[in-house]
Amino acid sequence: MNPMSSPSSSSSPQTPIWVYSYVKLRFFNRIRRFLRSKTPKKPYVSPTDDSVTTSPKITVGSNEVIQTADGNWDGGDAAALQRTVKKLHFGSWEEKEIAAKVIEKMSKQDVKIKKLMVELRVVPALVSMVASDAVGRPELAVKPLLELAKGSFENKALMVEAGILHKLPCNIQAMDESAKHDFARLLLSLSSLINSHFTIALQTNENAIPFIVKILDSTSNSETQKCCLETLYNISTVLENVGPLVSNGVVHTLLKLSSSSKGLSDRALASLGNLVVTSQGKKAMEGSPMVPSSLIEIMTWEDKPKSVELSAYILMMLAHQSSEQREKMAESGIVAVLLEVALLGSPLAQKRASKLLQWFKNEKQAKMDPHSGPQTGRVVIGSPVNQREVQEGRKMMKNLVKQSLYKNMELITGRANGGDPAKLKNLVISTSSKSLPF
């Protein structure tokens, strides 16, 4: 029997304590040698030399860190960093929280020490803290991760590789507004990667997109909502992400926010514009009870030209090659709104509204074609009776067109308020009935 093993080791072998202590000792010896190699030797300076200036001091927690004139860090900071890394890797939860605050503060003060922290595998340790919402406050680890992610593509990639999207906390209701905002900022920063690693991590994770949607539904902070919407926009730019977005009900959330808040409509409609070009996104919008009424209402917002342009684009995509959607739009009163946008909207909105009006005009003419329906017999073109019926039909249609034109113009002039009356008068005089859809 091995003299180092206990009597019970034969039934359940365990690693001896001295092995764990030996591994731990080697880990810190490596950190000590690494820090010594990074710290330059300070030249000897006479105490009586008047040209010597006092090095600036930075306080991190209870530790005083001295920075030399050339921007390097002395041994005092190396010892403070060593103690911080030790607490972050092997300390209790309270010690980990203290270490996270120190790392956040040190990351703000110097870029070189930030790189040194990453080399000492601080990022995976902080990511592990994010997943420990049942133990403590995971938001304390988010702040240093935000500082490490600033201006560093490599650090963001390390966070994704460490599984940050898989380790987001589940209990969002227990978070305060500040924690929600920090998580929203971190996800926005990571979504700027939009590479294969981030896309794969997003598709294999069932919690990331619902986490963003839950924050949107549970917060009233406009800045947090903007961060979440911009994150969804970045995700929607990748075609492979459309499926997870649609399956998690993002379309309904975006439609609700676009119609309920003018301050968020541009961002929400931009994401919907990315989704509507796909078959999955278009099908989800067609099945929503908010479509097309909410989008038509947005087109009446005179103070939000960007939202009007995006809404017209989405309606164009929905109406294209879909007679059912065009019929729903016509029943919702889209023609009068399109006429107003075509006259008073921005140049891009006018172009899109005119295109939609042309589709409705062509469809109306196709329905009124005398040869479009079943015929009882051949019609003789030169027949006086048929010619008289045709003329009566044309007079009737002209009267209907005039009535529709006057009604639409009264509606437009009433809503335009500050529009130019001379411009509207010239438009009425110069516009023939044949150029209008009805």
Of the two residues 182 and 414, the one the predictor is more confident about is: 182
Task: Tell me the pLDDT band of 403, cut-offs 50, 70 and 90.
Answer: low
Token pair in block for residue 271: 């994401």
CA angle 123, 178, 89 (to 5 degrees): 25
**Cβ contact 190:198 at 8 Å:** yes
119-138 residue pLDDT tens? 888 999 999 888 766 556 77
Token pair in block for residue 314: 């989405």
Token pair in block for residue 203: 């598709």
Is pLDDT above 60 for 287?
yes
Is pLDDT above 70 for 94?
yes
Is pLDDT above 90 for 246?
yes
183-208 residue pLDDT tens? 999 999 998 887 666 777 777 777 88
State residue 1's pLDDT score: 44
Strands (E), 227-306: none
Once rounded to an integer, what is the mean pLDDT over residues 114-121? 84
Distances (CA, A) of 118 to 87, 95, 107, 339: 16, 19, 10, 59
Is pLDDT above 60 for 98?
yes
Report the chain's mean pLDDT, rounded to a whole number.
76
Those residues whose C-beta lies under 8 Å from the C-beta of residue 211, and which sit 6 or more positions away, are 168, 172, 183, 187
**Cβ contact 2:56 at 8 Å:** no
Return the closest-CA partner of residue 142 out of 116, 174, 103. Answer: 103
Those residues whose C-beta lies under 8 Å from the C-beta of residue 12, and which sit 6 or more positions away, are none
State residue 292's pLDDT score: 94
Token pair in block for residue 127: 């990511």
Those residues whose C-beta lies under 8 Å from the C-beta of residue 230, and which sit 6 or more positions away, are 188, 191, 267
